[in-house]
């Protein structure tokens, strides 16, 4: 078809890999087929009890250096953090004095390297927007033995053309070509690994296991005890899921497909409007995806070879305008996929119920204030833990005033002591003096 030819030609001119092109064509085929892109509540059942992380790691011996040498740590690092007012890689956001997310990722990898007694493979999946900033920051670590050149740890995310809704042809915006493209979602991980050559390169080096997580999730450490269990389980794919709270009502949840009992992931974008209340019912759908995944790389290679070089992920169709700032510009579709949706693709894929400490993302300035406070401690190995005074439960922070939407607004707010706080709510502009100590439930209304 004409649209297929134009899409392929556009992506080839941009130098995108065959794996990226095939993944895009799979999405277009799904779009054109007319197949329903939503997952109805009547098609699924709630997920039953999942194996508990604590039980699996308790029964597993400490992983040896040989296993660590067979693991790659992959961090998704493509976000700019624009919702928090950032114009650079979100992982460069300071979370403690002189320390950002990227510093902690390196610190964690170096700690694993000391355990393994050799270099541990680290990959950062950057986007075209975050690559330059990230590589520049990484160059300060070239003498640490983790990598020789900053570029040695980069896995570059693909980009895909926006499609006109009327013809499914790539949209054309002369003079504003950058607006013709969009990110394909983190489901692009699989095409990026294959198309970049990293998948084969890792396997040739004897790297068999991948631990994948978001760069802004400080709880996502590559646990060596779980690596031992994962290696022994022979599972090709394991998702870390955790129990939903009111704060997780919008996050993708696990469910069982009624037709075959297969575990699947349902995102809110895959919900019809009348099913949203059921989607957000945390007592019915109890487990959500933390985006911490464990993947057997040999199983990934074999599966892609058997399926025409792609992982046939469910496609999320987003209706937008070509210029997001101009509602009168051409109506387009942006196609995305979620990497966790691959749980339905691999026979034998599993999910594990992990403690909440494995999921500690930073999405808002409220999250950032908690991290910068004395309620959170970070050790030399990059492990994050709550201060003993918190008794295992993080303070609930709510910076409700609009002036606190952006990360740099915290400079004026100040960072009080929060380790003895249960809940802090700030409804008005405020300033905490240096050394301010709070405790209990604090609500600042005026």
379-416 residue pLDDT tens: 888 888 889 999 888 899 999 999 998 888 898 999 99
Instruction: Classify residue 304 as exposed, middle or buried by CB count within 10 Å of its CB (0-12, 13-18, 19+).
Output: buried
284-298 residue pLDDT tens: 999 999 999 999 999
Q: How far is CA 175 from the centre of its chain?
A: 33
Mean pLDDT over the full length of the chain: 93
331-366 residue pLDDT tens: 999 999 999 999 999 999 999 999 988 998 888 999
Residues recorded for the chain: 446
pTM of the model as a whole: 0.93
Residues 128, 78: Cα–Cα separation, whole Å: 8
Instruction: Classify residue 114 as exposed, middle or buried by CB count within 10 Å of its CB (0-12, 13-18, 19+).
Output: exposed
- Beta-bridge partner residues of 423: 396, 441
The correct answer on CATH 1.10.600.10 for the domain covering 2-358 is no
Cα-atom radius of gyration of the chain, to the nearest Å? 22
Asked if residue 265 lies in contact with residue 343, where contact means CB atoms within 8 angstroms, the answer is yes
- Tell me what pLDDT residue 139 has: 96
Query: Which residues contact residue 31 at a Cβ distance below 8 angstroms, ignoring those fewer than 6 apart?
Result: 37, 163, 168, 315, 317, 333, 335
227-241 residue pLDDT tens: 999 999 999 999 999
Residue 320, H or E segment: strand 316-321
What count of other Cβ atoms lies within 10 Å of the Cβ of residue 357? 17
330's tokens: 């051409």
At 185, the pLDDT band (50, 70, 90 cuts) reads very high
- Helices 101-116 and 131-138: angle between axes, nearest 10 degrees: 50
Please choose, from the candidates 436, 431, 404, the residue with its C-alpha nearest in 3D space to the C-alpha of residue 420. Answer: 436
Dihedral sign, Cα of residue 193, residue 194, residue 198, residue 199 = positive
Residues 188, 79: Cα–Cα separation, whole Å: 14
Backbone angles phi, psi at 260, to 5 degrees: -140, 5
- Residue 123's alpha-carbon distances to 140, 348, 387, in angstroms, are 16, 26, 30
Please choose, from the candidates 25, 299, 2, 290, the residue with its C-alpha nearest in 3D space to the C-alpha of residue 158. Answer: 25
At 34, the pLDDT band (50, 70, 90 cuts) reads confident
Asked if residue 159 lies in contact with residue 184, where contact means CB atoms within 8 angstroms, the answer is yes
User: Which SS3 state, helix, strand or coil, does residue 30 take?
Assistant: helix
Q: How far is CA 110 from the centre of its chain?
A: 22
Answer CATH for 365-444 from 2.60.290.11, 3.30.9.10, 2.160.10.10, 3.30.499.10: 2.160.10.10
The answer, yes or no, to whether residue 247 has pLDDT greater than 80, is no
Most confidently modeled range among 35-44, 205-214, 400-409: 205-214
What count of other Cβ atoms lies within 10 Å of the Cβ of residue 176? 11
Q: Domain locations in the chain?
A: 2-358, 365-444
152-161 residue pLDDT tens: 999 999 999 9
DSSP 104-157: HHHHHHHHHHHHHTSPPEEEEEE-TTTHHHHHHHHGGGTTSSS-SSGGGGEEEP
What count of other Cβ atoms lies within 10 Å of the Cβ of residue 180? 18
Residues 291, 314: Cα–Cα separation, whole Å: 16
Query: What are the residue ranges of helices labelled H in 357-402?
Result: 365-372
């Amino acid at each position: 078809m004409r649209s297929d030819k134009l899409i392929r030609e556009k992506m080839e001119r941009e130098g995108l890999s065959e794996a990226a092109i095939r993944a895009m064509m799979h999405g277009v085929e799904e779009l054109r087929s007319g197949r329903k892109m939503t997952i109805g509540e009547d098609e699924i059942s709630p997920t039953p009890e999942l194996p508990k992380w604590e039980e699996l790691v308790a029964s597993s011996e400490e992983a040896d250096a040989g296993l660590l040498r067979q693991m790659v740590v992959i961090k998704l690092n493509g976000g700019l953090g624009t919702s928090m007012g950032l114009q650079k890689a979100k992982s460069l956001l300071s979370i403690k004095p002189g320390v950002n997310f990227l510093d902690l990722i390196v610190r964690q990898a170096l700690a694993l390297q000391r355990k393994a007694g050799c270099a541990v493979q680290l990959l950062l999946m950057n986007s075209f927007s975050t690559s330059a900033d990230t590589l520049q920051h990484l160059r300060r670590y070239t003498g640490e033995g983790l990598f020789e050149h900053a570029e040695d740890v980069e896995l570059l995310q693909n980009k895909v053309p926006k499609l006109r809704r009327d013809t499914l042809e790539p949209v054309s915006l002369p003079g504003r070509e950058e607006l013709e493209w969009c990110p394909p979602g983190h489901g692009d991980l699989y095409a990026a690994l294959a198309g970049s050559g990293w998948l084969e390169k890792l396997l040739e080096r004897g790297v068999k296991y991948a631990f994948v997580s978001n760069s802004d999730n400080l709880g996502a450490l590559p646990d060596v005890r779980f690596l031992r269990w994962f290696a022994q389980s022979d599972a090709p794919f394991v998702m870390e899921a955790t129990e939903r709270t009111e704060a997780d009502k919008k996050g993708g949840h696990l469910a069982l497909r009624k037709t075959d009992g297969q575990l699947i992931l349902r995102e809110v974008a895959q919900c019809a409007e009348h099913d949203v209340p059921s989607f957000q019912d945390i007592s019915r759908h109890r487990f959500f995806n933390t985006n911490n995944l464990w993947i057997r790389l040999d199983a990934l290679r074999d599966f892609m070879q058997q399926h025409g070089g792609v992982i046939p992920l469910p496609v999320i169709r987003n209706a937008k305008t070509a210029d997001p700032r101009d509602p009168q510009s051409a109506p387009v579709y942006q196609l995305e996929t979620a990497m966790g949706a691959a749980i339905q693709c691999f026979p034998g894929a599993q999910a594990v119920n992990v403690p909440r400490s494995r999921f500690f993302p930073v999405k808002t300035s409220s999250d950032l204030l908690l991290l910068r406070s004395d309620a959170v401690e970070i050790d030399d190995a990059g492990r994050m833990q709550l201060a003993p005074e918190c008794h295992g439960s993080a303070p609930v922070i709510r910076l409700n005033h609009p002036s606190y939407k952006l990360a740099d607004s915290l400079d004026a707010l100040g960072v009080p002591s929060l380790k003895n706080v249960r809940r802090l709510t700030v409804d008005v502009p405020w300033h905490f003096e240096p050394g301010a100590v709070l405790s209990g439930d604090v609500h600042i209304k005026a």
